[in-house]
Each structure stands twice: as C-alpha cells, then as structure tokens.
Chains A and B, each alone.
Chain A
Amino acid sequence: MNIQVDNPVLEVHDLTVSYDKKPVLWDVDFTIPYGNLVGIIGPNGAGKSTLIKAIMGLVPKGSGYIKLYDDSLDSVRHKVSYVPQRESVDWDFPASVLDVVLMGRYGKKGLLKRVSKKDKEIAYESLKRVNMLDFASRQISQLSGGQQQRTFLARALAQEADLYLMDEPFAGVDAATERSIVDLLLEMRKEGKTIVVVHHDLQSAIDYFDWTLLLNTRLVASGPTEKVFTTELLQETYGGKLTLLSKIGDLMKEKQFPAREK
C-alpha cells in the first residue's frame, strides 16, 4: 500500500542509499501530506535513521531525489528542523542548556549576527514548552536522558520550522516524559506543523500517528495509520516476529481498530 498525496510537504522519489556499496534503502518512494503527525516504523537496521538523514542531506543519495515544499532542501532549510538521536553528541561538552537551545537560532539569522534579546526570548519560550525552564543554566553533562531529549526538542522549537524530522525522540524517556512530548507534538500539529517521527513501539504508534510509513530497507507501506496497520503489512515489515504480531493483533482487536476518529 502506498498512498500518494497531491501537493505533499515531503516527496521522496525512488531513493536509494548505500553504505560501502551495500544498499540500506532500496527505491524508497512516498509522499507525506501537510499538517500530519507521521510515524516511521520498522525493525532495527531497517534504515529509518538513514532515511531522515538522507532527507536532511547528511548522507549522500545513491539515486532518486527528495523535494521539500516542492523545492530543494537548500532553498527551504530555514523551514526544516532535524532532531538527531540524542546519543549522536557528546553531552560532556562545556555548554549550558540555554547555549544548546540558542544554537537553534543560528540557522534563521546566520552565524555572523550576535544573539539578540529576541533570540533569548524565543529560546526561553521553547524551554518553557518542553518544561525545562528551570534547567536553562544547567550544564548539559548533568542532564538525564529525558532532559537531554527535551533540550534537543527545545532547540528544534527555537528554529521555528514548519517541518520537523525527529529520530527516536521517545528512546530512553519515561512514560510521563513521553506523554508530555506527545502532547507537545500534538500542539505543534495544531499549529499546522508537520512532524515526522522515527518510532519503535507499535502499540503506541497506533495512538500517536495520523500517517505511518512502514520501512524495512524498502518501503512496505505509506498511508493513513488505520489503513497501514494491517496484519499482513506488519508481518511483511517485521517478517517472522510472530509473537510481536499476535500481540498487535490482540491490541487492534482490543482497540476496535480501525474505528478511530481523527
């Protein structure tokens, strides 16, 4: 199943990406509609991180093209924000939470201008939205995993983008933090932003996402979550992991899926 939309916010066309000549994404082709909360789901090593890195131009494309807002990345950079996996940086770096969040302002105004009062206001506002205001001056090496994640989210908010690509923002955070991040994402969607999230947990995926991509080296499905979450498609994505699938089957029954309103 691959539902294509007109006038998409993001279009990935026949994308192939390889590391050392070994393709980890094969002919991936999909479109994503505006204003949705989108999940990218697939097993470990499926190429989820690689996909959003390719979209952000962080790994070279083998073939295919990517369009954001019907344009190239370079011309719409200021409208796009990337939230890396938090393990991707060394949190022992000498910086405070506020310093990191202010980095989110660098893109908008260029690196040559000084940080203005307005930038600081935006940074504080972003920290407030992720509930980290009290930690503004905290040294980043003294943050818990969940606080690191929220610091990255605040930095992304400070970018004031329209499209957000997040790599596993829920990894290693507790249930309460996950809930508050989800609330934030829903709020952002209400403001008309599009948020693409790499996610691991199938159970919560059903609840969170309007649109879902199932990925395992190739694209298995792309479409509204309730249409994509079928036993066959999940089986195709996760191949063989029946315990998980039967669990999901039970869950879908329990939730009377797809009787869910948007």
Chain B
Amino acid sequence: MWLFEQIVEFFSFQDVNIRYVALGTLLLGASSAVVGCFTFLRKKALVGDTIAHSILPGICLSFIIFKTKDPLMLLLGAMLSGWLSVYVVDYISANSKIKPDTAIGLTLSVFFGVGILLLTHIQHSGNSAQAGLDKFLFGKAASLVQNDVITFGIVSVILIGTIILFFKQFSLISFDVHFAKTIGLSVRTFEVILSTITVLAVAIGIQTVGVVLMAAMLITPAAAARFWTDKLKVMVIIAAIIGGVSGIFGAFISYTAPSMPTGPWIVAVLSFIAIGSMLVAPKNGAISKSRKQKKNQRKILEDNIIKLLYKLGEKENEFFKNRSIRTLKNYREYPEKKLLKGLNILKKKNQVVLVNDLWVLTEEGKKAGMRVVRIHRLWELYLTTYLRIAPDHVHEDAETIEHIITPEMESKLEHLLDYPEKDPHSANIPYKNEKDINE
C-alpha cells in the first residue's frame, strides 16, 4: 500500500519539486542518450568518460576566477576544459606513437587530478560560496529547481535540434569518414560540432549524475537500443526513450528511498534495461538465441528417436511392436533421461504410446519416422549424384540435413531425383503410398 501511494504521489506530479526533478532527469536522460548514439557508433565510448572527468578543472577554475556559482559561468568553464581534453586526445593520437586508448587514459587522469587539486584548494580557502561545488563530483539530481530545468530544457533543444539538423552528416561520418570526405563534406567541421554537443551534454548531465556515472548516461542507452533495431533513426528514438524513462525511474526510486542518491539509481535502471535488452531483444538477444537453440535440440532429439523406432520396425518388419527403453538404448547412445524426455514429447504428439512400460509406434509415428528416413536417404542420394560425393561420406551430412528440410524442399528433392527407390547404400527409400510415386 505504501508503495502504491508513493507511485501515485510521484507520478501525479502534483508536487512542484517532483515535477522539476522528473522533468529534469527526463530531459537529461533523453538528450544525452541521443547524442550518445553517435559517440557509441563512432566507437568513442571512452571519450565520453574523458570529457566527464576533464570538466572538473574547468568548473573549479571558472569558480576561482569569477568567484560565482552562476551555472552559466560554470558551464562555460566546463565546456572549455571538456573541449580541450577532446583536442588533447586527438592531438596526442595523431602526432605521436601513443595509441588512442593510452592517450585517453593519460588525458583523463591528468585533467581529473588537476580538478581534484583545485577542488581541494577551493574547499580549504574558506570561501563560503564554495559550498555545493562538490555536487559536480556526485551529482545533485534530487535537488533540481526550476532554473535547472529551464537550462536543461534549452540545452536539450539545442542537442536534439543539432542532431536532427545534421543527422545525415553525422551518420555519414560515423559510417564511412573517407567516403564523406571524398564527396566534399567538411568532415572536420562536423566532428567539431559533434564533439561540442557531446561536451555540452556531459557538462549539463554531470550536474545531475556526477562525473563518474556520466559516461554511462551517454553510452548505455545507445548500447541497449542497438539490440532492438537495425535502423539508425529507430535506434536514436529508442535510446532517447530508454534514457528518459531511466531518468524518471531513477528519480522515483530515490524519491521513495530518500537516502539513495538519484544519479546512481538512474544508472542502475539504465544498466538494468541494457542487460534486459541483451537478454530478451528479438533478434540479437541471448534468450531468444538460446531458445532457438533449445528448440533445434528438441527437434533433433524427436527426429532421431522416431527415426530409430521406424528403422527398427523396418529391420524386423514389424512396425508396431512394443520396445523397451533398454532396446532403444542399444541402438542409440542417449542417456536414459534424454531418451525418456524425447519419448514423452513424442507421446504428447501422439506418435508413440506407452503400454506396460514399453513404447509402441502409432500410425502417426510411423509416418513421421518414415519422413525422416526418406529425407535422409534422398539427401544422401542427392549428394552422391549431384555433388559427386562418395557414398561413405554422405551420412554425417544427411544426419544434420534431415532435421531442417521443409516439406517444399522435400518435394523438390523428390522431383529432382525422380522418386528413386534406393539410396546410395541400397536401402529402400520409403514413400507414404503408391500415389506419391506415380504423381
């Protein structure tokens, strides 16, 4: 009941503070996700982290120089040092033998170190206005006020507007820089624009979630969205939704449990969504992949057992004889548990029945078994006649193929081979009835 009341209270947005916090985190989450899509696609995830850490000295310096906590002035300082860090990373990687990842590590730690130094200096200087400056380290989402939200709103419009305006350019330089250059696009200009809006997104976001988590705000929604779609535009939209929703939910969770800071909760929700996407997303998701695999495994098991029963019937010329588990195990090296599992599935499909602990094929089952055997033998024949593979090499292949051939392919095979009677090993190829052959 308590939770329900909290939900109603929060999501009715009656309280002004709640409204500001929710709106602020929503705007921030969505707009940094949109910008982050391109950071992600250009494989510059670590650059986001560099910017986040490098912004600190800029904020401190502009506080020392202008002696004010006016967010606009701080933002200016943040932008400058964030930008400088991007430039330094590029410069080092372009003009020395140092690899980009090392250049990133180097820049990040130097800038952040200087930032911490300056912050400590400010805190010890006794300037009363400094209180709250350390919020930049950990964020202060829970105390967003109207002014913050207005700033966020303006910045979000700038960020998302820029992305919409230059969508083609940004996607072109993310996919194929060389080609973009050859058609005369000023790649450098658009790289600078992209870096600038990334710095802006980080400089704003950092006030909400803090230095350490900002990179996650940028990259995680994009990474999660990528699981759901193969279209760039859709990916950007999904990322924005994921970012926005995480923002609001993070704010909600820390609202119900006030001792919890908002920033980490936003990132926790984001990570949860990302992991969820990885597991359940339709095409790429791990769960659907393993479900498909399981399904295949089960089909193979079923096919193999019904084939075994059919072949035994063929050999002993008695299809509907009772057979024990042990007999079956003699012919196929399956553990008993697996064999039973397969038989039980077949029983549900009415292809076998259980009589006094013995298993018997049904008419249905005979047909199903016949089909598997037929396909196996047809395929062997196809391989030997059309691909000229030696008869003693075709069994393994047919063993796999028999499970995936569709009825359409089956009838094509039959036509192509003209309803043969014997396979390469001179075994009979069984047909449903005479009519099939004469057709």
CB distance from A153 to the nearest CB of B (A): 13
Complex Cα distance A159/B182, Å?
11
Known interface pairs A94-B232, A141-B230. Does A82 touch B178 (Cβ–Cβ under 8 Å)?
Answer: yes
Does B169 sit within 8 A of A, measured CB to CB?
yes
B-side contacts of A81, CB under 8 Å: 182
Q: Report if A175 contacts B (CB, 8 A).
A: no
User: In whole angstroms, what is the CA distance A141 to B41 when docked?
Assistant: 14
Binds B, one of A31-39, A103-111, A195-203: A103-111
Residues in A186-211 with C-beta less than 8 Å from chain B: none
Provide the residues of chain B in CB contact with A95, threshold 8 Å: 171, 175, 230-232
Which residues of A lie under 8 Å from residue B172 when comparing CB positions?
103, 106, 111
Option from B168, B174, B181, B182 in Cβ contact (under 8 Å) with A93: B174
Contact B231 A96 (CB under 8 A): yes
Establish whether residues B181 and A57, one from each chain, have CB atoms under 8 Å apart when the complex forms.
Answer: yes
**Does A89 count as interface, using CB distance less than 8 angstroms?**
yes
Bound complex: CA of A83 vs CA of B181, how far in Å?
12
Contacts of A84 in B (CB 8 A): 176, 178-179
Minimum CB–CB distance from A196 to chain B (whole Å) comes to 14
A88 at the interface (CB under 8 A from B): yes
What chain A residues lie within 8 Å of B235 (beta carbons)? 94
Q: How far is the CA of A58 from the CA of B229 in the complex (A)?
A: 32
Residues of chain A within 8 A (CB-CB) of B226 are 94
CA–CA, A28 to B381, complex, Å? 60
- Contact residues, A91-145 vs B (CB, 8 A): 93-96, 99-100, 103, 106-107, 111, 139, 141
Q: B184 on the interface (CB 8 Å rule)?
A: yes
A56 on the B face (CB < 8 A): yes
Chain B residue at minimum C-beta to C-beta distance from A91: B175
Contact A77 B184 (CB under 8 A): yes
Does any Cβ of B come within 8 Å of A74's Cβ? yes
| Given A94-B226, A139-B230, A82 contacting B179 (CB threshold 8 A) | yes
Centre residue among B184, B185, B231 by max chain A CB count within 10 A: B184
Chain B residue nearest to A85 in the complex (CB): B178
Task: Establish whether residues A94 and B231, one from each chain, have CB atoms under 8 Å apart when the complex forms.
Answer: yes
B175 touches A77 (CB 8 A): no
**CA A77 to CA B183, docked complex, whole Å:** 6
Say whether, besides A82-B182, A106-B183, A111-B185, A96 and B176 are in contact (CB < 8 Å): no
Is the pair A107, B231 in contact by a Cβ cutoff of 8 Å? no
Q: A155–B169 Cα gap in the complex (Å)?
A: 16
* Count, chain B residues at interface, CB 8 A: 22
Q: Is the CB of B181 within 8 A of A106?
A: no
A103 touches B176 (CB 8 A): yes
- The answer to whether B182 touches A103, judged by C-beta atoms less than 8 angstroms apart, is no
Shortest CB distance B99–A (Å): 14
Q: Evaluate whether A80 and B182 lie within 8 angstroms (CB atoms) in the complex, with A88-B176, A89-B176 already known.
A: yes
Nearest to A99 among chain B residues (CB) is B232
Complex Cα gap A74–B181 (Å): 11
Residues from chain B with a CB closer than 8 A to the CB of A82 are 178-179, 182
Bound CA–CA A77/B175 (angstroms)? 20
**How many Å from the CB of B291 to the closest CB on chain A?**
20
* A58-B175 in contact (CB<8A): no
Determine how close the nearest CB of chain B comes to the CB of A120; give it in whole angstroms.
Answer: 15
A145 to B171 Cα, complex, angstroms: 22
Residues of chain A lying within 8 A (CB to CB) of residue B41: 93-94
With contact pairs A56-B182, A95-B175 given, residues A106 and B230 touching in the complex (Cβ less than 8 Å)? no
Q: Give, as a whole number of angstroms, the nearest-CB distance from B277 to chain A.
A: 14
Q: Do A74 and B176 form a contact, CB below 8 Å, given A94-B230, A95-B232, A96-B231?
A: no
Contact at A111–B230, with CB atoms within 8 Å?
no
Q: How far is the CB of A219 from chain B (nearest CB, A)?
A: 23
Name the distance in Å between A5's Cβ and chain B's nearest Cβ.
25
Q: Mark A25-55, 1 if CB is under 8 A from B, else 0.
A: 0000000000000000000000000000100
From B169, B178, B183, B230, contact of A88 by CB (8 A): B178
User: Complex formed: what's the CA distance from A111 to B168 in Å?
Assistant: 7
Name the interface residues of B126-179: CB closer than 8 Å to any CB of A. 168-169, 171-172, 174-176, 178-179
Best-buried of A56, A58, A82, A94 by chain B (most CB within 10 Å): A94
Q: Let me know if A89 and B175 touch, CB within 8 A.
A: yes
Taking CB as reference atom, which chain A residue is nearest B235?
A: A94
Cα distance A56–B182 when bound, in Å?
Answer: 6
Within 8 Å CB of A77, what residues of B?
Answer: 182-184
* Chain B residues with CB under 8 A of A111: 168-169, 172, 185
Q: Are the C-beta atoms of A103 and B179 separated by less than 8 Å? A: yes
List the B residue with the shortest CB-CB distance to A138.
B230
In chain B between 200 and 225, which residues have their CB closer than 8 angstroms to a CB of chain A? none
Select from chain B the residue with minimum beta-carbon distance to A156: B179
Q: Would you give the shortest CB distance from B11 to chain A, in whole angstroms?
A: 33
Query: Nearest Cβ distance between residue A169 and chain B, in whole angstroms?
Result: 15
Contacts of A58 in B (CB 8 A): 178, 181-182
Can you name the residue of chain A whose Cβ is closest to the Cβ of B182? Answer: A82
Minimum C-beta distance from B150 to chain A (A): 31
The distance from the CB of B222 to the nearest CB of chain A, in whole angstroms, is 10
The residues of B with any CB-CB pair to A shorter than 8 Å are 41, 43, 168-169, 171-172, 174-176, 178-179, 181-185, 226, 229-232, 235
Give the top 8 A-B pairs by smallest Cβ distance, nearest first.
Answer: A107-B183, A139-B230, A82-B182, A77-B184, A94-B232, A89-B176, A93-B175, A56-B182
20 A-B contacts (beta carbon < 8 Å):
A53-B178, A58-B178, A77-B184, A81-B182, A88-B176, A93-B174, A93-B232, A94-B230, A94-B231, A94-B232, A94-B235, A96-B231, A99-B232, A106-B168, A106-B185, A107-B182, A107-B183, A107-B184, A111-B185, A155-B179
- 15 more A-B contacts (CB under 8 A) besides A57-B182, A82-B182? A53-B178, A77-B184, A81-B182, A88-B176, A94-B229, A94-B231, A96-B231, A99-B232, A100-B175, A103-B172, A103-B179, A106-B185, A107-B183, A141-B230, A155-B179
